[in-house]
Amino acid sequence: MNAIGLAKYAGALAALALCSACGGLAVAPTNAGFSGTYVGRTLFVNGRPVTAARLSSSPLPRYAAILPDFHRKPRPHEYIINDYGTYAGIFNYPKSDNQIGQINGAGGQGCTNVLYGYGKKTFWNVGGPTQITEYRVPEKPLRTLSVNYHFPSSCAMNTSGDLAVGILYATSSYTGGGEVVIFKNATGTPKVYKTPLDQEFFDGYDAQGNLFADGFTGNRSGFALVELPKGGKKFITISTSNAVGFPGSVQWDGKYLTVVDQNAAAMYQYTVSGTKATLKGTVSLTGSGDCAQTWIATGVVYCADAGNNDGGVYKYPAGGSAIAVLGSGLPLPLGTTAADKN
């Protein structure tokens, strides 16, 4: 960040601290050593913008259970990816809900080389402009890509192996944003696509190769869902038949396009035709504090719970209360994905 940008941002934070009771801008609660501040509806944690909606100072009660292990070897690995620059916790649920390892320095969001389920051998972590890193399961770094934007936010892969990376903010002075860049075959120099979004939070491909993303628009105030049709040259806005309060994960589930509403602790299942997304079902994530990113696997959905500082496991598409909790007291979970060694 340059000196001018730093001065402007420091001044903004000081004003926010003095104006916690003012409308529109508020100081968020502090949790587990993290200092959270809202600029508009965007949460900054220790001065860095994140895609979680909120921090919780009073986590809700959770129910933890271990299910029978019906998986063949090699076992799947789940990743709860925490605040930027901290670490990603490695789990092997349903064998256990205990953390079995970690990837130091990781943070942010993750994705893998399948639309849903357990990825094949590798996964990606988006942690910074030069920290878009592919790992071989469970933790070996393979390669790193970079973008000319300060705050990449999300990633998604299509069945052809292209990697889409969303941009939360474009510059170090917290201006611009909303672009999506696509790395053909997850390598080389990406192609940049402008979107109608002011900030991009999450993205995901469907089975036809259409790319969807959500975030804020209207001067960073209202939710919006956008689509880059397969082979298209620009993103279009998709209207949803129900109101979505706060952008969350966008992922294909094998039948529907799903969008998480972080405010409602719910996953909305849509069919999409033209520029209209029609609600077909709602999956409740009961007891979650704030599912910043979710990942739909086989019969379950994993939640990186920024409100409860753990990873929740829910039945999918049944939803309801968590059937297991991965970890405890994690440093601000923001992302999750799942992969195996097959």
Closest CA to 264 of 251, 240, 282: 282
What is the C-alpha to C-alpha distance for residues 242 and 133, in angstroms, rounded to an integer?
35
pLDDT score of 238: 98
pLDDT tens-digit profile of 276-322? Answer: 999 999 999 999 999 999 999 999 999 999 999 999 999 999 999 99
Cα–Cα distance measured from residue 238 to residue 273, given in angstroms and rounded to the nearest whole number: 9
pLDDT digits (tens, 9 = 90+) for 325-336: 999 999 999 999
d(CA 244, CA 205): 19
Triad 151, 41, 4: Cα angle to 5°: 50
Q: Is the pLDDT of residue 236 over 60?
A: yes
Where are the extended beta strands (E) located within 178-254?
A: 180-183, 191-193, 199-205, 211-217, 222-228, 236-240, 247-252
Distance CA 238, CA 223 (A): 11
Instruction: Say what the pTM is.
Output: 0.87
Question: Burial level of 48, CB count in 10 A (0-12/13-18/19+)?
Answer: middle
pLDDT digits (tens, 9 = 90+) for 120-171: 999 999 999 999 999 999 999 999 999 999 999 999 999 999 999 999 999 9
- With beta carbons less than 8 A apart as the criterion, state whether 168 and 135 touch: no
Mean per-residue pLDDT, 200-208: 98
Lowest model confidence (mean pLDDT) among 22-26, 52-56, 318-322: 22-26
pLDDT of residue 31: 44
Query: Per-domain residue ranges for the chain?
Result: 3-50, 77-340
**Strand, coil or helix: 251:** strand
Superfamily assignment of 77-340 in CATH? Answer: TolB, C-terminal domain (2.120.10.30)
**Nearest 5 degrees, angle CA 290-CA 153-CA 221?**
65
For range 164-193, the mean pLDDT: 96
Supply the DSSP symbol for 186: G
Strand 119-120 to 335-340 pairing? parallel
